[in-house]
A and B are shown apart, each in its own frame.
Chain A
């Protein structure tokens, strides 16, 4: 575990340095174009300030913003004991210092994500659709994947890299648009106000360089970001298999998520996408063009890797299965693989065999969501259970089955 965290930290730092260099270079070049040869330093400063401000904002309240944007509701043990228990089980397995906060998102698309800067402030959110479809073992697999993200500090990485990416995109957009409009207006000022007569040629070269940098920088940053984010998904899968000792749980959960017909998650955007267990954007031809710009590895590949782990649940085993399926070098850092580990798989939980419970389970999750949203539950003498929304006016309601009038309990 520790080797993995260290390797992750090292990769993150390398990525950060590259992205920071790209950001500063872009600031410098753009500054030189906009404010003359001495403007390089000025542009560099502006770029730094933009980046610092965005980092501070996302650091102080990034997770709260994300949870609020996803319309997640915080739940306690009483609301959904199983979810809460499964999170606690994984907290114990991963030896997290504190229990992550648990959230439910009222959305039929099955998905889940984790957020928070460090293991002390982490949160896990799952959708109602996920709770309705998965059995206990599958839910455990999904939560283990999210807890692995927390343990590997992926959330910090996504936050920092996401902000840097955002800054690069922002600066490049502002510059390119500025160039576009100023050339539309036909301003000659830029060309005449260079450094004297001979500077014109150099100025134009500088301008071309700046435009090229401004176009290429965001693309490079995107590709880098997505490549690392895909790698982290594999690592979180490996971690989940290791925590639960049961790769099949996550595999069959991913299968259910992939085969789900409900529309894509309502509240989601491109920057937060890497945090979800499966890509929240639904695309038809996932395996083709989208590969380079996808935040997640193809789900079918993730499933076959997990299903190929027949000998054990260690990182080593995952690494072997990965090489077998993708014919690529290992995703797991060498240090974590070489450690001698002999981790046996475990058996499926008893619940896994029952498949006829799905409708019942969906109804239960629906009730839970209503309870969270302050619906009033009313049982009639004829056995019918009525669910009354919080905005219901009046204090009498007629039972639709036996026509008896009932008092709505005071809210």
Chain B
């Protein structure tokens, strides 16, 4: 009798511990995915911040390229003012395109390419573009881990009970966005 009671208590305790462990793992994975998502935002904002400096530096050298500058400025303000994710993603795509066009035009201005200030901005911009794509990559990795956990036994039971739902991957909406704008500096 006594032994049976102890066994039941022990089994119960093990189950409770397992549930707590799985629940915590789910929360951890979800937070990681959230954090990765916010990284994308951080880097997009960084790109917006870099653009005014870039234009300011390039303006003096590129007197006949007003159209290029206007396209960038317009895409930037659209991206910054975008209300929802779909709009933002579209606007960021346009901005990326405008920037890569700008970098192509830069090829015709060797003086600008020798400017120390411009060179360091160039490095920052390349790095920011890389960071955006790595942040996306990392977000998708995290989402994959989270979704796997939600769908697999036994964690799927706990996920269902506590209302953890599958996340969507970061799919790129605009065709142009699918290729991270290739910033060519050669």
Contact = CB atoms under 8 A, between A and B. Distances in A.
Contacts of B43: 92
A411 interface: no
Given A88-B131, A95-B32, A350-B183, A81 B124 contact: yes
Interface string A74-110: 0000000110011011101111000000000000000
Most buried by B among A81, A89, A341: A89
Contact size range, B:
20 to 34
Given A81-B120, A85-B127, A95 B138 contact: yes
A288 interface: no
Contact size range, A:
20 to 34
B138 A85 contact: no
B35 interface: yes
Interface in B23-65: 32, 35-36, 39, 43
Contacts of A9: none
Contacts of B70: none
Contacts of B186: 350-351, 353-354
Nearest to A93: B134
Interface string A1-16: 1100000000000000
B127 A1 contact: no
B166 interface: no
Nearest to B138: A95
A341 B124 CA distance: 31
Most buried by A among B120, B126, B134, B182: B134
A146 B124 CA distance: 22
Contacts of A1: 141, 145
Interface string B106-127: 0000000000000010011011
Nearest to B186: A350
Nearest to B29: A2
A1 B146 CA distance: 12
Nearest to B43: A92
Nearest to B42: A92
A136 interface: yes
B145 A89 contact: no
A80 to B, nearest CB: 10
Nearest to A81: B123
Given A347-B182, A350-B186, A353-B186, A92 B127 contact: no
Given A85-B123, A88-B127, A95-B142, 8 more contacts: A1-B141, A85-B124, A89-B130, A89-B131, A92-B39, A93-B135, A93-B138, A347-B182
Interface of A: 1-2, 81-82, 85-86, 88-90, 92-95, 136, 243, 245, 339, 341, 347, 349-351, 353-354
22 contacts: A85-B124, A85-B130, A85-B131, A86-B127, A89-B130, A92-B43, A92-B138, A93-B138, A95-B32, A95-B36, A95-B39, A95-B138, A95-B141, A95-B142, A136-B126, A245-B137, A339-B148, A341-B144, A347-B182, A349-B126, A350-B182, A350-B185
